Structures are given as C-alpha cells and as structure tokens.
Amino acid sequence: MSEDKDLISIGQARSLVRRARAAQSELELLSQDQIDAVVSAMAAAAARESRRLARAACDETGIGIAEDKHVKNEIAFHHVYEYIKGMRTVGVISRDSERRVAEIAAPVGVIAGVIPVTNPTSTTIFKVLISIKARNAIVLSPHPAALDCIVDTARVMEEAGRAAGLPADSILCMQTITAEGTEELMRLASLVVATGGQGLVRAAYSSGTPAFGVGPGNVPAYVHSSADLARAADDILTSKCFDNGTVCASEQAVVVDRAVAAELRGEFERSGAHFLTAEQTAAVARALVSPELTVNPKLVGKAAHEIARAAGFQVPEGKKCLIAKLDTVGPDEPLSIEKLSPVLAYYEVEDWREGCERCRQILAFGGMGHSLAIHARDEEVINAFALAKPASRILVNTPATHGAIGYSTGLAPSLTLGCGAAGSNITSDNISPMHLLDIKRLAYGTRPVGRPDSPPDALEGKPEPAPAPLEESATAVPRERIEQMVDEFLDGKKTKQLKPSPNVYSIPEQGETQDQPPRPAPPPPEAPTPAAAEFVSEWEVRQALKRGETILIDEKTIITPLARELAERESVFMLKGSITGTQDKAE
C-alpha cells in the first residue's frame, strides 16, 4: 500500500509540474501592471480569509495559537505585500547611467514550494505571493499533517489570482504526499524553496535543482548588564511565546551577565515565566527531547502548562514559558537544542566576552548562520557581537521572532530566512521575489581597449573621461530605444541587424560636428535567402505561434520532441526544398 502511495505521489508531481510549465509559458508574458494586479488581488483574498485559515491550521495540526497564526498570515499578506508591491520584476528593472548597464528580469520557471506544519497557511501565502510576483508558476508540497489548510489557502489565492488575470495552473498543490513524491517534485522544478526540517532541506540541496533552504534556528539572546532589563524580559517572552515558539527565529536560550541575572529573573517571573527546578528540568528534557536529540512532535507548539503536564508536574495556566537553568551546551544538555515550544534555556556568564563564547556554542549546536538577539545599550558590545558571531541576523533590542522576519526591524519582510554558508545555505538573505529571478545585464562599452595601430603608450597618463549618464548624453541611446531593443531580443524578433538611430553612439569624423545632419544612409542590401533553423525547441514554436509566423526547417534541423509535437499540431514548420529551393508546409 505504501509503495502504491509513493507511485501515486510521484505521478502527481510529474503531472503538476507538466501543467505548471504550460502555465509558465503564459505567465511570463504578463506585463508588470498585470502581475501587480494579480498579486494585489491574491493578497486581498488572503486578508479576507486570514482568521478562518488560521483557525483551520490550529484545528488540523494541533499546533500553536490561532490569533498568532492570523498575525503570521498578516505578515505575509500585508507586510510582505507592502514591501514587494512596487518592486519591478518584469523587463528592464534598473539602469545604471554612469556604468551604462541595464538589468533585465526573467522568471526562473516552476517553483517547488515545500510548506511546513508549523507555519502552514502563512508560508503558503508568502511563497505564492513572491513566486507569482516574479512570474513563476508554483507547485506546493504540503506537510501531510497540514494538508487540508494548505490546500485551502492555495485555493483562496488561486481563485483570486485567476479572477485578476492569472493563467490557469499557475498555482498547484500536491494532495498525495510522500517523501518520494516531494523529491520528484524538487527534481523536476526549476527552483526549490524549502522550509522544514533538516532532512528535507538536505534533500532539497541534493535534488540537483537550485534550492533555497532554511537551516535550524537555535537562537541565543544575550542580555548585557547595560540592557533595559524589563524591556529585555518582555521582548524575549513576547517572541518566545508567539504561536507557542514555532517560529525558527524565536529565542532558544537566554545568556545573561551574572551581575544582573537575579534582577532579570525577577522581570521574567513578573512577565509570566516559570523557572524550573533541577528535577523539573530533567523531566521536561525527557518529555520534550528524544535520545536522538529531536523534539517530540506531540509537544511542538504546545502551551507551557501542557508541556509541564506531559513531564509529570503542574504549573498554573497563566504561566506562558518554562525556563531551565543550564550550565553547558551539547548532547548532555537536551534542552540546549532548538525546542519549537515555549521552553527556554538560561545561562549566566561573567561578562560579554564569556557571553560571546556561550552564544557561539549555542549557534554551533544546531543554529549556525541563523539569528542572534542582543539586549544592550553599550554600542561597543553590540558591535563586538555583530562582528564575531556566525549569525546572518544580529537583532538589537527587539523580539528575535519579529525582528528576524522584518516585522519589528528594517529587514526585508520574509517567512523564509537564509542562514548563509555557515548554515549550509546558498544565501544569508531574507528571501524575496528578487531571489526568484534570473537577472540579465545589458552592458555597453564605456572605455576603449586599444587598437592594433595605436601606439603602445597612447592611453598612458590620460585619464579616461567619465561617460555621461544615459538619460542626459546627447549621444545616448534613449530609454524607449533600449526597451524596444530588449523587447525585440526577448521576443525573438531580432531577425536582422538593428540600424541605429542618427547620432546613437556615433563618432563624428574630422570636420564634422554633432549638430550637422547625418549623411544619407546607403541603400539596404538585398535580403538574403532565409536559412533553415539549426535547432528548434518548444519555446521557439510557442513564440512563432504567438506572432503568427512559420519556422523554416530542412533535413539537418534538430527538433526537440515537444517542439515537433506542438508544431505538427499547429502546422508551424515550413520545409525548405533541399534541391529546388522551393518551400512546402512540413507534414
């Protein structure tokens, strides 16, 4: 039975990617205004359905807090949307007039979006928005324990997008989920954006497809003696208890200077934390962490009093976080790992130097490259932590969860956080639509390289004049001309050499000035006999269909199977006579 399910899942992955690729050929033709209208409609639909989807996620998974899941959704449909709505992702997206370089955005293709059980609806909203904004179709692979709420969220987004002009099959979702099916999806996609456990992220990087993965977040929070202790305690608990600790950027350990440790403990207790006894610490470790140092999935995202009950003791329901005082980091201290629940490790150190080392140990034990929080008013200490720690985000005087995802800081709002090379990730960025684009660069020559007849020292000692900005130079290519050239290149319309407009990068001859009218252009040469195509792919056939043209082929033309199938169905090929030179429709 399991083998049958694997085969069904693999077949489903192949079918969905095939459909998504067909949608991709239409999606990538949409203009910036069309894409922006689609993304706006999807964000609005997610906003309308957010509370219902948040409740559905809690009911299905048994993880977290419904109101906090609504806030997570809001981060995606509001904060992420506000950040990306004005972002250019179609055609020429930037120009550097001084360097004479234009950047051109192209979609990467079908995205495989792997969705976790801890943040199912918010991650779905986020990945759909950034994928479609970059003109990429997306196929989602839900966590099996959150299948229904993820499918429902994808449906809400897809229906709103379709009503605004999104091509059919641009947003698809697997519904028979196995590891083998997900691996096949990742293998067939153009790019993988994976959020989940370490095993899944490793599978993404091993799929042979370019991938953005997310490393674990064993985030330490250092509290220096110069910190505002009341604010630090409140920030840490606000972050740690948000959705019962299921965000990978939430604090996993507090490291505090011994001089202020007692005062900070008092602030924690006033804010609703319960400090565990040594016996309770051991009991929680046994209940929460397996001998293999993995978190008990039955306790992920559960409230503090539920975890205490599972460990065999009681705490009042008003207590929102369990804090365990520890002395070391590593396998002998199970609670020093990432816990995905409102449980904190607590360490006391002599000063910031010892605190620096303790934070490094915590990051090395399962959180390399992710994030670190520091609470201090001493800028030298803050800078020391920023320079020395293997973390991609150093979050100062703010809740780590909200700071890392760009809610309470100026970082890019995102629900996928790269951990850089330290965390075996390809980027340390907060992932955005710009990571889902291929950026091409149109670059004009700006300095001479030298000519064979030039003296060897012709350029020595002569500073190269800076080129005038493209927008201001009398001889610059006008913006409209650049866009026309780019469109012709991308659409495959550049069938003959472009003739420059008068005075476009022209060099006046001796006795001639730029104000003089240009010499009459010589008569154009006779058009050469069209040559048969050497290679034809499905893309060339679709472009020919779009323009209502035919493609000239002969017996030497290499044609891909998909191109041949599509062209024969639509009568696109024209066969060039090998002897007489006549042309006939290819059968």
Q: Which residue has the tokens 């004479």?
A: 100
| CB hemisphere CA count around 539 (13 angstroms) | 9
* Residue 463 C-alpha from the chain's centroid: 43
Question: Residue 355: enclosing H or E segment and its boundaries?
Answer: helix 352-364
Choose the catalytic residue: 58, 173, 241, 248.
248
Q: Is 319 helix (H, G, I), strand (E, B) or coil?
A: coil
The answer to whether 385 and 351 are in contact (CB under 8 A) is no
The answer to whether 65 and 41 are in contact (CB under 8 A) is no
Tokens of 222: 């250092």
Question: Residue 69: enclosing H or E segment and its boundaries?
Answer: helix 66-74
Cα dihedral 455, 457, 463, 467 sign: positive
Q: Is 424 helix (H, G, I), strand (E, B) or coil?
A: coil
Q: Where are the beta strands (DSSP E) in 417-474?
A: 437-443
Number of H helices, E strands in the chain: 18, 20
Tell me the Cα Rg of the chain: 30
What end-to-end distance do the CA atoms of the chain give, in Å?
Answer: 46
The answer to whether 218 and 203 are in contact (CB under 8 A) is no
Each as own residue / partner, the long-range contacts of residues 400-403 (CB below 8 Å, 24 or more positions apart, any chain) are 400/219, 400/221, 400/236, 400/239, 400/249, 400/250, 400/251, 400/371, 400/372, 400/373, 401/239, 401/240, 401/242, 401/247, 401/249, 401/250, 401/251, 402/238, 402/239, 402/242, 403/239, 403/249, 403/371, 403/373
The answer to whether 93 and 103 are in contact (CB under 8 A) is yes
* Phi, then psi, of 443 in degrees rounded to 5: -125, 125
| CB hemisphere CA count around 268 (13 angstroms) | 27
Tokens of 524: 């154009």
The answer to whether 77 and 125 are in contact (CB under 8 A) is yes
Q: Is 581 helix (H, G, I), strand (E, B) or coil?
A: coil
Question: Residue 566: enclosing H or E segment and its boundaries?
Answer: helix 561-570
Quick check: is 248 catalytic?
A: yes
Exposed, middle or buried: residue 514 (CB in 10 Å: 0-12, 13-18, 19+)?
exposed
What residues act catalytically? 248
